[in-house]
């Protein structure tokens, strides 16, 4: 395992007016590690993800990707450094074919995006689209416009698009929200299998403790903008204080 963490947050601080959104947060994510963030609504979990992607700029502290500070960079610049993001509400192109989403993300991550002559469809992008769609069981929907597929599939497509960027780190905001309870475990099993196979680190915000217990390597418990506990799922979920304040 590489000694330098993929993601390091150090003494992060952010207020929205009088509200303390993130306060003195420090944590690190190692290569290939899957970190879950749990906490009540409004605890600052999504704000942390938004800071890691450059959407919010911290008022204090530092965020480093493989040792390099990303404070002040735009979301697209951070994406190009190897951070992909999937959203709580899938951000798709509703009128476009499902497989074209993957091809577009594949092209975005590789050279030649701006060439007015290189087509979106290439053997490599077709292969990537076929692999990811097969993996997330979206193959049958490949030719459909994204607006016409079910919510669970939209969620998977959002994640698949992020993975097509071949990131070092993926940030997932409530990947199982809006997905039926019977589909949650299947979705996470598929997702974590891809992450492990590609050695992608992940940080995911989650409310389902069963999902957290099964798939996270470590869990950060967020309370009032602070990391209240940071440990293995077994320890965190058995902690009486965590049970009282969060669960």
Residues contacting 80, CB < 8 A, separation 6+? none
Task: State how beta strands 19-29 and 7-16 pair.
Answer: antiparallel
Residues contacting 48, CB < 8 A, separation 6+? 9, 12, 22, 25, 37, 222
**20, 23, 96, 166: which one binds other proteins (CB under 8 A):** 96
**3, 18, 67, 117: which one binds other proteins (CB under 8 A):** 117
**120, 140, 143, 247: which one binds other proteins (CB under 8 A):** 120
Q: What is the DSSP string of 125-154?
A: HHHHHHHHHHHTT-GGGTTSBGGGS-HHHH
DSSP H or E run through 173: strand 169-173
Judged by CB under 8 A, does residue 42 bind other proteins?
Answer: no
CA distance 69 to 72: 9
Judged by CB under 8 A, does residue 68 bind other proteins?
Answer: no
Contact 5, 28 (CB under 8 A): yes
Would you say 60 or 94 has its CB closer to other proteins? 94
Q: What is the DSSP letter of 32?
A: T
Minimum distance of other proteins from residue 64's CB (angstroms): 19
**35, 43, 65, 105: which one binds other proteins (CB under 8 A):** 105
Minimum distance of other proteins from residue 103's CB (angstroms): 8
Minimum distance of other proteins from residue 107's CB (angstroms): 4
**17, 72, 116, 123: which one binds other proteins (CB under 8 A):** 116
Residues lying near other proteins in the complex (CB under 8 A): 53, 74-77, 79-80, 84-85, 91-96, 100, 104-105, 107-109, 112-121, 161, 165
């Amino acid at each position: 395992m590489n000694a330098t963490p993929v993601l390091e947050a150090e003494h992060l601080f952010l207020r929205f007016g009088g509200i303390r959104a993130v306060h003195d947060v420090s944590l690190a994510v190692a290569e290939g590690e899957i970190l879950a963030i749990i906490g009540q609504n409004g605890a600052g979990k999504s704000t942390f993800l938004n800071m890691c992607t450059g959407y919010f700029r911290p008022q204090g502290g530092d965020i480093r990707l493989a040792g390099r500070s990303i404070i002040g960079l735009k979301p697209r610049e951070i994406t190009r450094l190897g951070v992909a993001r999937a959203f709580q509400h899938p951000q798709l192109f509703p009128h476009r074919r499902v497989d074209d989403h993957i091809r577009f993300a594949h092209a975005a991550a590789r050279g030649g995006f701006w060439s007015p002559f290189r087509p979106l469809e290439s053997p490599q992008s077709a292969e990537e689209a076929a692999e990811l769609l097969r993996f997330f069981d979206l193959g049958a929907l490949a030719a459909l416009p994204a607006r016409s597929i079910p919510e669970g599939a939209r969620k998977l497509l959002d994640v698949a698009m992020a993975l097509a960027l071949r990131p070092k780190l993926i940030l997932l905001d409530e990947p199982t929200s809006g997905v039926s309870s019977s589909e949650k475990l299947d979705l996470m099993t598929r997702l974590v299998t891809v992450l492990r196979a590609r050695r992608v680190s992940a940080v995911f915000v989650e409310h389902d403790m069963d999902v957290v217990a099964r798939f996270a390597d470590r869990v950060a418990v967020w309370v009032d903008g602070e990391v209240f506990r940071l440990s293995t799922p077994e320890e965190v979920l058995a902690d009486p204080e965590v049970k009282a304040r969060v669960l």
